[in-house]
Amino acid sequence: MCGIVGAIAQRNVVPMLVDGLKRLEYRGYDSAGIAVLDKEIKRVRRVGRVAEMENAAKEINLTGLLGIGHTRWATHGGVTEPNAHPHVSAGLIAVVHNGIIENHDEKRDELKRLGYMFTSQTDTEVIAHLVHHHYTRAKDPARDLLVAVKSAVKELVGAYAIAVIAMDKPDQLVVARMGCPLLIGVGEGENFVASDVSAVLSSTRKVIYLEEGDVANLTRDSIKIWDKNGVAIERTQHLSDVSLASLELGPYSHFMQKEIHEQPKALSDTIEQVLEQGFVPELFGADAAKIFSDIEGIQIIACGTSFYAGSVARYWIESIAGLPCQVEIASEYRYRDVAANPKHLVVTISQSGETLDTMEALKFAKSLGCNKTLSICNVRESALPRSSALVFYTRAGAEIGVASTKAFTTQLVALFTLTVTLAKMRGRISDEQVAQHLDALRHLPGSVQHALNLEPQIAIWSDKFAPKHHALFLGRGLHYPIAMEGALKLKEITYIHAEAYAAGELKHGPLALVDESMPVVVIAPNDTLLEKVKSNMQEVRARGGELFVFADLDSHFSESEGVHVIRTPRHAGVLSPIVHSIPVQLLAYHAALARGTDVDKPRNLAKSVTVE
């Protein structure tokens, strides 16, 4: 959440900053702003999208060889221009910030006592004044921006990625990170910083990922980094494999639509390594065989869609691998008195690998002695894999739509692979069963493609959803989490209130909600629970609820008054939840189109949740 970008170059950096912000806009789109050095600090900020800020920058012909930019997802202070970043202190210091400063109230009072006037309600403005305070304490010519930033961050409690420039330092860009992502883009005679690689790719593919507590000093020709102990340090330079083309919309209207349709490819790319090597522990890292060999259970920790992926995995892990498995929302786990078992494998799941709650929950688990850790992530070198003993990278490619789609289904592949690997190691399944599971994975992209072909039928249904205020999603067993994911997708992008229930729970309360105006989506594959689900559907129909059923080709459902049925491909066995994710994604997407909401940038949300 919140995107920051900075550049120091021998060319006008404004086009690069604007382009970078457009690519980071998925992280926050409440307001946008840039500040450049052009003898003085010149700043443009606008509430709304980057494009509006870009127009304003063009109007005043903003140019500079050094600058910083920000696209905001507000945490402290409303969505207003005075709260938009960059924040400037006395015309001397400009700061952009991603994160939350927890001691901002206390620091604000201190700074007010020192005579600083605040023009925003943000926590970020505290950083600008604090840097200014340290910067100006030493009188000219001893002013040192790097020292000032280092001193300022020592006083901050909370999470931050910051980029700072000073009016009288045209050759210096200082950055720091703690808890929020930040990378340096290494150029020729120019250098960059950004929250993620997409923002620097048009200038360079060479990147250095900063670690927790790092402070860095960038000039046009040099990059110097100090670690959390203040020790000068070299960080590895990587060559990003993200292509610019993969970040473009291409023929699609929305990134969500593109990403839904990319799933057969994302799945085959993720499955490829498994097909090549089989279900071997090495897929998760060199130490996996040792770590997996004596685990007594699994603790999955995640948020949002990733939590639902974990919830599907619980069914797989317990039934196929025979290991007890708990799944918990990261923001609950981290603040609970957990009775942790160090012999449990802690699995964290996050598309970005930067989700703050998940990251903190992992730290907490480790503090309780749980060092058998595995992360499932889509972004290489992100914080979670760096903090975990083992990692499985999904190969979904960049996911830009705020509502996660391909990251979810590829996470499920990773979790299924984990399940079968553990089952095999524990002697729970025969070679023949292993081969069957491999075969199921091989056929998965094809089944998903068939599910995508249902789009025209689903689009017709979505018209019926568009005028509704509420919807229920029902599923049982492995498909209960898919009902939850379907409800989440619908609320995220259509703003229709949607709830998911394990179908057996209906009569314990939610049935009271059902009347003629309530659409009820049922995930009803032809599995052992089908007859139970059918009974639950009768209960809904008897109260006038309108049923929208996703069934398999081979389940014998017929349409009738108030019962609509779409048949997904032949039953995909244990991988059926992955195939059934597609129709619920398409339903939400088309209902959002019908309602005219902003599919890729739903209100109040943003991607990569790097704040609490």
List residues near ligand HGA by CB under 6 A: 1-2, 28, 72-77, 97-100, 122-124, 610-611
Residue 2 annotated in active site? yes
Residues in the chain: 612
Element (H, E) at 143: none
Cα 6 to Cα 165: distance, rounded to the nearest angstrom: 9
The secondary structure of residue 118, as a DSSP letter, is P
CB 330 to ligand HGA: min, Å? 16
Element (H, E) at 344: strand 344-350
Catalytic residue chosen out of the listed positions 107, 258, 372, 607? 607
Query: At 565, which amino acid appears?
Result: V
Residue 269 vs 399, nearer CB to ligand HGA: 399
Q: Tell me if 169 sits within 8 A of 135, measured CB to CB.
A: no
| Phi, psi (degrees; rounded to nearest 5) at 91 | 70, 5
Residue 87 vs 334, nearer CB to ligand HGA: 87
CB 352 to ligand HGA: min, Å? 12
CB 606 to ligand HGA: min, Å? 7
CB 86 to ligand HGA: min, Å? 11
Kindly write down the DSSP assignment for every residue of 224-248, as one continuous string. Answer: EEE-TTS-EE---EEE----SGGGS
Of 159, 153, 189, nearest in space to 174 by CA = 153
Cα 499 to Cα 519: distance, rounded to the nearest angstrom: 11
Catalytic residue chosen out of the listed positions 2, 180, 325, 370? 2
Residue 72 vs 406, nearer CB to ligand HGA: 72
Rounded to the nearest 10 degrees, what angle do helices 406-425 and 576-595 cross at?
170
Cα 182 to Cα 6: distance, rounded to the nearest angstrom: 11
CB 87 to ligand HGA: min, Å? 8
Element (H, E) at 501: strand 497-502
Helix (H, G, I), strand (E, B) or coil at 402: coil
Signed CA dihedral, 115, 116, 119, 122: sign only: negative
Query: At 300, which amino acid appears?
Result: I
Residue 69 vs 397, nearer CB to ligand HGA: 69
Residue 26 vs 393, nearer CB to ligand HGA: 26
CB 104 to ligand HGA: min, Å? 8
Residue 199 vs 300, nearer CB to ligand HGA: 199
Q: Tell me if 510 sits within 8 A of 472, measured CB to CB.
A: yes
Of 145, 171, 148, 124, nearest in space to 28 by CA = 124
Residue 607 annotated in active site? yes
Cα 610 to Cα 436: distance, rounded to the nearest angstrom: 40
Which neighbouring-strand residues pair with 224?
Answer: 217
CB 30 to ligand HGA: min, Å? 8
Residue 177 vs 571, nearer CB to ligand HGA: 177
CB 46 to ligand HGA: min, Å? 15
- Written as six digits, the tokens of 397 are 């490619």
Of 485, 401, 451, nearest in space to 267 by CA = 451
CB 120 to ligand HGA: min, Å? 8
Query: At 180, which amino acid appears?
Result: C
Helix (H, G, I), strand (E, B) or coil at 474: strand
Q: Select the residue whose beta carbon is closest to ligand HGA and give its number.
A: 1
Q: Tell me if 404 sits within 8 A of 309, measured CB to CB.
A: no
- Written as six digits, the tokens of 125 are 């403005």
Cα 348 to Cα 143: distance, rounded to the nearest angstrom: 44
Catalytic sites, residue numbers:
2, 607
